[in-house]
Homo-oligomer: A and B are copies of this chain.
């Protein structure tokens, strides 16, 4: 598919994801002029030092002025306010999107803050690392990953054109694109992302609080499995606070399912039901193979860590 570059892209919020969008847009020539704004003056200064943007205004309204595509990459709970602050500068016909991990609440907030005549299309690239800030981004972050767009109800054919244009932008950045209802997105991500983060944060906290096992021991012997959890428990605290608050219902519901299953597993251990344990542990192997087959994971043992003796 041919893709006409976006004449002017504005990225609002320049952490890991925002800076990766800007870098990927530059590297792939998906946008001609790139404008970056961040509410934090120190981040704006760093963006200037890194030379990531053509323009780095100090005002959000200036930042979005004349932009054909505006992508909000602020922490999830801040996107609504950021959109409201920038909205007076929106160009008629602009595409207004975001990268937040929750789509129902954020989509509603952006729609409420936006004037008529722009196209609000919430989006979410399923990609990231445990690092944060404008230095953490890199242009390959979205390659081979999925970006989910959650178009809002509309019978305007121009809206469909805008969705196709935004899809093309993400494909130019290397992503695969899927369209999905926002409520379904929030349930799927509660499973594949929000619950795993919640559990990882919890287990790392539990380990840190034990009296009889020293924190140094937890660190020394972490290669037995624990260290994998610490990677995602090192993710951005503000972003994740927002995710759990904005997707509360779906997270609590899936957490209830997880707890039921964990009680059953706990009972099987207590009563020595080895067959039940082995049956579950065999079944879960197949899921891993499916993820590798779907191109979303490295097939190398131990994430390839041992290649370098790490």
- A contact set with B: CB distance below 8 Å: 101, 126-131, 136, 138, 140-141, 143-146, 148, 178, 187-189, 191-210, 212-213, 215-235, 237-238, 240-242, 244-245, 248, 251-252, 254-255, 257-259, 261-262, 265-266, 269-270, 272, 274, 277-278, 280-285, 287-291, 293-294, 296-298, 301-306, 309-310
Give the CA-CA distance A280 to B240 in the complex, in Å: 11
Given A200-B228, A205-B280, A230-B291, output 11 extra A-B contacts at Cβ < 8 Å: A126-B223, A145-B223, A146-B221, A191-B213, A192-B207, A209-B257, A225-B232, A241-B278, A255-B266, A259-B262, A298-B305
- CB-contact partner of A284 in B191, B233, B241, under 8 A: B233
Residue in chain B with minimal CB distance to A226: B192
Q: In the complex, what's the smallest C-beta–C-beta distance from A163 to chain B, in angstroms? A: 19
Do most interface residues of chain A lie in helix, strand or loop, or is the interface mixed? helix
Q: In the complex, what's the smallest C-beta–C-beta distance from A268 to chain B, in angstroms? A: 8
Q: Which residues of B contact A285 (CB under 8 A)?
A: 233-234, 237
B269-A245 in contact (CB<8A):
yes
Q: In the complex, what's the smallest C-beta–C-beta distance from A72 to chain B, in angstroms? A: 19
- CB-contact partner of A252 in B101, B145, B270, under 8 A: B270
Q: Which residues of B contact A227 (CB under 8 A)?
A: 291, 296-297
A284-B221 in contact (CB<8A):
no
Q: Which residues of B contact A289 (CB under 8 A)?
A: 234
Residue in chain B with minimal CB distance to A301: B129
- CB-contact partner of A201 in B188, B207, B265, under 8 A: B265
Q: In the complex, what's the smallest C-beta–C-beta distance from A199 to chain B, in angstroms? A: 6
Known: A231-B228, A232-B225, A306-B129. A215 touches B261 (CB 8 A): no
Give the CA-CA distance A189 to B230 in the complex, in Å: 16
Known: A233-B285, A241-B274, A278-B237. A197 touches B219 (CB 8 A): no
A305-B306 in contact (CB<8A):
no
B192-A281 in contact (CB<8A):
no
B192-A218 in contact (CB<8A):
yes
Give the CA-CA distance A304 to B298 in the complex, in Å: 10
Known: A204-B287, A240-B277. A297 touches B222 (CB 8 A): yes
Q: Which residues of B contact A291 (CB under 8 A)?
A: 219, 222, 227, 230
A129-B207 in contact (CB<8A):
no
Residue in chain B with minimal CB distance to A197: B225
Give the CA-CA distance A240 to B252 in the complex, in Å: 29
B228-A196 in contact (CB<8A):
yes
Q: Which residues of B contact A193 (CB under 8 A)?
A: 221, 224-226
Q: In the complex, what's the smallest C-beta–C-beta distance from A94 to chain B, in angstroms? A: 28
Give the CA-CA distance A79 to B194 in the complex, in Å: 40
Q: In the complex, what's the smallest C-beta–C-beta distance from A39 to chain B, in angstroms? A: 18
- CB-contact partner of A244 in B136, B178, B277, B284, under 8 A: B277
A-B contact pairs, 28 of them (CB 8 A): A129-B302, A144-B310, A146-B220, A187-B213, A188-B213, A188-B217, A191-B207, A191-B213, A192-B218, A192-B224, A196-B229, A198-B265, A199-B203, A204-B284, A205-B261, A206-B257, A206-B258, A220-B296, A231-B288, A231-B297, A231-B302, A233-B285, A233-B287, A234-B285, A234-B289, A245-B272, A297-B310, A303-B303
